[in-house]
Structure formats: structure tokens, C-alpha cells
Amino acid sequence: MARAPANRAPTKAAPKSATPKASTPKAAAGKSAAGKSAVNGAVAAKGPDKAKLLDWYRNMLLIRRFEERAGQLYGMGLIGGFCHLYIGQEAIAVGMQAVKKPGDQVITGYRDHGHMLAAGMDPKEVMAELTGRAAGSAHGKGGSMHMFDVAAGFFGGHGIVGAQVPLGCGLAFANRYRDNGQVSFTYFGDGAANQGQVYEAFNMAELWKLPVVFVVENNQYAMGTSVERSSSETHLYKRGVSFNIPGEEVDGMDVQAVAEAGAKAAEYARTGKGPFILEMKTYRYRGHSMSDPAKYRTREEVDAVRKTRDPIDHLREKMEQLGYTDEEAMKRIDSDVKKIVADAAEFARTAPEPDPAELYTDIYAKA
């Protein structure tokens, strides 16, 4: 593990000039205080590695197909309550996953299925949580909005908009306290970016140089409210300016761009420089949740994004240009993913509900 000496004694708040856009991932990695590539899985300098791109493609496709199926199971009444799909935003969870090191933590809001899958959680367990079964990741107690895999550093799925941001800083505080070189990736939406506690957290994060990367998934809408209608500063990467937290806007529909920016931000946080804000420009294709008719935007707007910016199509085209796609391999990915999702759905449909006695467990630690 790259243990950054700078972590111990935070540099005196070096005046930060605007937003650091200059450094390339390669340069950032080269400047790693530990003197080695700090970024596990950052895109190699010489060119994208084929296996990596195929892997990203597969993982994004898995999320897409999984979410489509979840939508379908919701329609059948097998999933209840609120169900927020990640369709359109796949490149963010997948690209950032490439930046994570073992021991790093992730925390997000209720739009969490994609993050679970990107982190490598068994799709069966994720789907079974959605159907409220004992085999689910939270044994059926949490549901769609409350997914967890603490062993893998995934600290959940939270339902109160913005409330996970201070919690994510708390994870980072623990990292700094223990000087363990780990980073907390704290995700929130464009709507959440207006909650006061986000700014209380920003201030502490910079003040104490906490190793946290704030990832704003700006899908342009908070339920029916566009960023323009809710925000006096619509460039959310600038929201750290008055706290001296650097920020950067990233094309969140381009998995490579996400991974590159993520690597740079993680390196910054990991080496004791403090928090970093990544504003991922993205789009959700579906309604806010299953019960949102999404009348606040036109069908043309949605179609235009799907046609011109789709993260999965985009990567596929890129791979075609590089000659990385052969018909056979792509077909295999396709049918593998389909099967995984079909199996997950079948599992989630037939797995038993929790034992009634579970109603009273997990309220306190076992004595």
C-alpha cells in the first residue's frame, strides 16, 4: 500500500489556484509521494489496455441489463417501495471502481444498485435484496435504497438526501486518524449538493485534509427539478471554491475519462493533500424512481442523450476503432451478462423471505 508521508503532517494549506486541470493522470501518478504508481488500475500511459476496456464494457452492460430487469420485477410487484435505477450513469461506478484500492471505502445515496455491482457484489444478492429475501445483501431488511457490503468497503445506500456526505467524511477522518493511506469515495447527486450539511462536511474535510473524493453524480435532475432551477451555481465542481477544495468537471458518460479523473483525485487525497471534488456530468434515462412520469423533460432530450452520449455505446465504438472487438467475444459478453441477470432474477424470485424472528435482530450488537 502506498503510504504517503505527506499524510502524517499535512502540508500547510498550499494556496490552490483555481481548479487543477493541468496534470495528466500520468503526471499525477509520477508525482506520487510514494514514488510509485499510486493508482491501481489507472489507464496505462501508452494506450488503453484491451482486457481492461472489455472488462469495463462487461460491467457497464451488467449494470444496464440488471437495472432493466429490476424495473421489470418492480412492474410485476416483486420489488416494492422506491426503486431508483442507475441506467445511463454506469460509467461512473465502473470507472471509479478501477481507481479504488483494497481498503478504500465507498458511500452513496439510494441510487445504489450499480455501485454494488461495480464493486463486484454477487448480482443474486443484490437482486434478492430488491425482492426482500433473506439471501439479500442486507437480509431483506434494507431493500433497494439500503444496500451494503461492508466487507468490500461499501458503506451503503442511504435514503436521506445529502446525509451520506458527512458520513463519508467520517470514513475519511478514520483513515487519516489511522494514517492508513485509504480514501473514502463519497457520492451524491446534483440535488443533494444543495443540502447544508454537504458544506459543513466540505469545510471540515479541507480544514483537516481528509482523504475523501467527493463524486457528484450530476444527472441534471433532482426528481423533477433541473440543476438550473435549484442552483445558483450550476457548475458543481466549483462548489468547493470557498473552502479551497479543488474540483473538476468530468464527462461522466465516458468511462475512461472517469477513471482518469478519478485516479488523479484519489492520488491527491491519498497523498495527504485533502479532499477533491469530481463533478461527473451524466444523465439518468429513466424516471427518478419507478413512480415518476418524468414530464419535466422531453422525450427528445432523453433520446438525444441515448443516441449521442450513451456510455456503453461510446465505449463499444472506441473499442471498435481500436480493433479490440471481435464479433465472437462481444456476443459472449452479451449472452454471459444476460444469463447472469436471468439467474439473479430467478434466484431473487424464488429465494425465501426472512424468518419472522429476524424482525427483532440487528437492532443492537449481539450480546
Partner 1 sequence: MTDVLMPALSPTMEEGTLSKWNVKEGDTVRAGDVIAEIETDKATMEVEAVDEGVIEQILVPAGTENVKVNAPIARLKGEGDSSSNGAAPPQSAAPTASPNTDEQKTVSPPPGTGGGGREADGGGQPAKPASEGAAPLAKASPLKDPELPAGVKMVRVSVRDALRDAIAEEMRRDGDVFLMGEEVAQYQGAYKVSRELLQEFGDRRVVDTPITEYGFAGLGVGAAFAGLKPIVEFMTFNFAMQAIDAIINGAAKQRYMSGGQVSVPIVFRGPNGAAARVAAQHSQDYSAWYGAVPGLKVIAPYDAADAKGLLKAAIRDPDPVVFLENEMLYGLEFDVPDDVDFVLPIGKARIRREGADVTITAHSRMVGLALQAAEQLAGEGIEAEVIDLRTLRPLDHETIVESVKKTNRIVTVEEGWGAFGVGAEVCQRVIENAFDWLDAPPTRVHGEDVPMPYAANLEALALPTVDKIVAAVKAVTYK
Ligand X SMILES: Cc1ncc(C[n+]2csc(CCOP(=O)(O)OP(=O)(O)O)c2C)c(N)n1
What does the binding site for ligand X look like in residue numbers (CB under 6 A)?
Answer: 111, 159-161, 189-192, 217, 219, 221-223, 288
Q: Please, what is the Cα angle at 340 between 335 and 344, to 5 degrees?
A: 145
State in angstroms the smallest separation of the CB of 311 from ligand X: 16
Q: Does 189 bind Mg ion (CB under 5 A)?
A: yes
Distance CA(362)–CA(36), nearest Å, equals 43
State in angstroms the smallest separation of the CB of 156 from Mg ion: 18
Buried b (16+ CB within 10 A) or exposed e, 186-200: bbbbbbbbbbebbbe
Q: Please, what is the Cα angle at 106 between 174 and 52, to 5 degrees?
A: 130
Q: Does 222 bind Mg ion (CB under 5 A)?
A: yes
Out of Mg ion, ligand X, partner 1, none, what residue 231 binds, judged by CB under 5 to 8 A for its kind, is partner 1
Out of partner 1, Mg ion, ligand X, none, what residue 69 binds, judged by CB under 5 to 8 A for its kind, is partner 1
Is residue 124 a contact partner of residue 347, using CB atoms and an 8 Å limit? yes
Q: Does 219 bind Mg ion (CB under 5 A)?
A: yes
At 52, list the grid cell.
481492461
Is residue 158 a contact partner of residue 110, using CB atoms and an 8 Å limit? yes
Out of Mg ion, ligand X, partner 1, none, what residue 55 binds, judged by CB under 5 to 8 A for its kind, is none
At 301, list the grid cell.
432530450
Q: Does 271 bind Mg ion (CB under 5 A)?
A: no
State in angstroms the smallest separation of the CB of 104 from partner 1: 25
Identify which range of 155-163, 182-190, 232-240, 317-325 contacts Mg ion by CB under 5 A.
182-190
Rounded-to-5 percentages of helix, strand, coil across the chain: 45, 10, 45
Out of ligand X, Mg ion, partner 1, none, what residue 111 binds, judged by CB under 5 to 8 A for its kind, is ligand X
State in angstroms the smallest separation of the CB of 287 from ligand X: 10
Binding site for partner 1 (CB under 8 A): 68-69, 71-78, 80-82, 129, 131-134, 138, 140-146, 158-163, 191-192, 194-197, 222-225, 229-231, 287, 290-293, 295-296, 299, 338-339, 342, 345, 349, 353-354, 356, 358-360, 363
Instruction: Give the DSSP letter of residue 149.
Output: B
Q: Does 114 bind Mg ion (CB under 5 A)?
A: no
State in angstroms the smallest separation of the CB of 245 from partner 1: 20
- Please, which residue, 102 or 196, has the CB nearer to partner 1? 196
Q: Does 190 bind Mg ion (CB under 5 A)?
A: yes
Residues 6+ away with beta carbon under 8 Å from 33? 2, 4, 5, 6, 271, 272
Cα distances (angstroms) measured from residue 239 to each of 193, 272, 276: 8, 21, 11
**Given the DSSP bridges, would you call strands 184-189 and 212-218 parallel, antiparallel or unpaired?**
parallel
By residue count, the chain amounts to 367
Distance CA(48)–CA(254), nearest Å, equals 13
Type of residue at 160:
I
Report the residue closest to ligand X, judged by CB: 189
State in angstroms the smallest separation of the CB of 356 from partner 1: 6
Residues in contact with Mg ion by the rule CB under 5 A = 189-190, 219, 222
